[in-house]
């Protein structure tokens, strides 16, 4: 029992100490976390401002809901229409463009629909449907999921509603979706950042890239203190200001894996 009590004491001391610090909570997406951007950006932010950041990495839809409940100070996500809805509901103060990257259509090396090298995502989706080639959808209301659904709409198709058996909604994060598509030999839409940093690329290829429809914009918003008075508005605003500043933008541009830049800053453009 004594051991348990000392463990409890240690626990209280540890947690108590951390509650005192300058610290904010950011609800963000699995893509910014899984790609390693935050591990690169947050130490630079902390060095500049002394503010610690806790990142909750969820799909964009879930991240916005976390902020709606008042459980985050800042949101940093990538689904513009969902973000604008969030703003219109009064939960955000103002939305700013931060950076972009692009989506790529990943497929098994065997490329069952013969898409490799295509730059036309809409035609490629039509081919996938025509050949009933397996396709993995995030199915989790994330930014990538929203982008994927918009592309199917552009193609005039709706495999989710049709419950097509080649279309699998897995309800998981980007990395898990890549793992699944690899195991199933399926196509999957991924943001390029997660793809570049993904460690299990063997057996997967980029099937389609370079279409302007695959553009992926990230935005940042301070959660509205008028809705949730406990929001740390000053510290949260400091983060927003930092990622939009010339310095923060450069830190984002400098983040590379194997020589490839993952995110392209475009604040104020």
Partner 1 sequence: MNEGSSALALVLSGDPALYAIVRLSLVVSLSAVGLAALVGLPLGGLIALTRFPGRAGVIVLLNAFMGLPPVVVGLAVFLLLSRSGPLGSWGLLFTPTAMVIAQAVLIMPIIAALTRQTVEDYWSEVRDELNAMGVGPLHRLMTLLYDARIALVTVLLAGFGRAAAEVGAVMIVGGNINGFTRVMTTAIALETSKGDLPLAMGLGLILMIIVFAINASAWALRLYAERRIG
Residues in touch with partner 1 (CB under 8 A): 1, 3-5, 7-8, 10-11, 14-15, 18-19, 25, 30, 34, 38-39, 54-57, 68-71, 172-176, 178-179, 197-201, 228, 230
- Which residue lies nearer to partner 1 by CB, 25 or 101? 25
Task: Specify the pairing of strand 135-137 against strand 187-191.
Answer: parallel
Cα 72 from Cα 56, distance rounded (Å) = 8
**C-beta of 90: minimal distance to partner 1 in Å?**
14
Range list of β-strands (E), 33-73: 52-58
Residue 199 or 269 having the CB closest to partner 1: 199
CB nearer to partner 1: give 197 or 216. 197
Q: Which is nearer to partner 1, 86 or 198 (CB)?
A: 198
Contact between 218 and 76 under an 8 Å Cβ cutoff? The reply is yes
User: Rounded to the nearest whole angstrom, what is the least distance from the CB of residue 58 to partner 1 in the complex?
Assistant: 8
Residue placing its CB nearer to partner 1 in the complex, 155 or 235: 235
- Please report how close the Cβ of residue 243 comes to partner 1 at its closest, in angstroms: 18
Question: Which DSSP symbol is given to 209?
Answer: -
Distance of CA 50 to the CA centre of its chain: 25
Question: At closest approach, how far in Å is the CB of 146 from partner 1?
Answer: 19
Residue/partner pairs of 160-166 with CB below 8 Å, 24 or more apart: 164/129, 164/132, 165/132, 166/128, 166/132, 166/133, 166/134, 166/135
Minimum Å gap between C-beta 162 and partner 1 is 28
Residue 230 Cβ, how far from partner 1 at the closest point, in Å?
7
| Residue 67, CB-side half-sphere exposure with 13 Å CA sphere | 38
If 0-12 CB within 10 Å is exposed, 13-18 middle and 19+ buried, where does residue 176 land? middle
Choose between 245 and 260: whose C-beta lies nearer to partner 1: 260
Q: Please give the biggest Cα pair distance in the chain.
A: 67
Q: What are 11's two structure tokens?
A: 């626990």
């Amino acid at each position: 029992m004594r051991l348990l009590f000392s463990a409890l004491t240690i626990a209280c001391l540890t947690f108590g100490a951390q509650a005192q610090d300058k610290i904010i909570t950011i609800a963000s997406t699995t893509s910014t976390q899984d790609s390693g951007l935050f591990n690169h950006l947050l130490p630079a932010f902390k060095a500049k401002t002394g503010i610690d950041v806790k990142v909750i990495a969820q799909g964009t839809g879930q991240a916005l809901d976390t902020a709606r409940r008042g459980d985050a100070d800042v949101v940093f996500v990538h689904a513009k229409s969902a973000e604008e809805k969030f703003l219109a509901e009064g939960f955000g103060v103002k939305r700013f463009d931060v950076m972009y990257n692009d989506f790529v259509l990943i497929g098994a090396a065997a490329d069952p629909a013969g898409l490799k090298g295509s730059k036309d995502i809409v035609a490629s989706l039509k081919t996938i449907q025509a050949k009933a080639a397996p396709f993995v959808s995030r199915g989790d209301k994330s930014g990538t999921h929203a982008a994927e659904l918009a592309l199917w709409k552009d193609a005039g198709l709706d495999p989710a509603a049709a419950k097509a058996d080649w279309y699998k909604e897995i309800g998981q994060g980007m990395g898990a979706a890549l793992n699944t598509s690899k195991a199933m030999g399926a196509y999957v839409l991924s943001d390029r950042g997660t793809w570049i940093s993904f460690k299990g690329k063997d057996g997967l290829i980029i099937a389609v890239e370079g279409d302007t429809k695959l553009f992926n914009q990230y935005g940042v918003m301070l959660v509205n203190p008028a809705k949730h008075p406990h929001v740390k508005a000053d510290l949260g605003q400091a983060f927003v200001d930092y990622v939009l500043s010339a310095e923060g933008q450069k830190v984002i541009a400098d983040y590379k894996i194997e020589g490839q830049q993952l995110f392209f800053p475009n604040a104020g453009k």
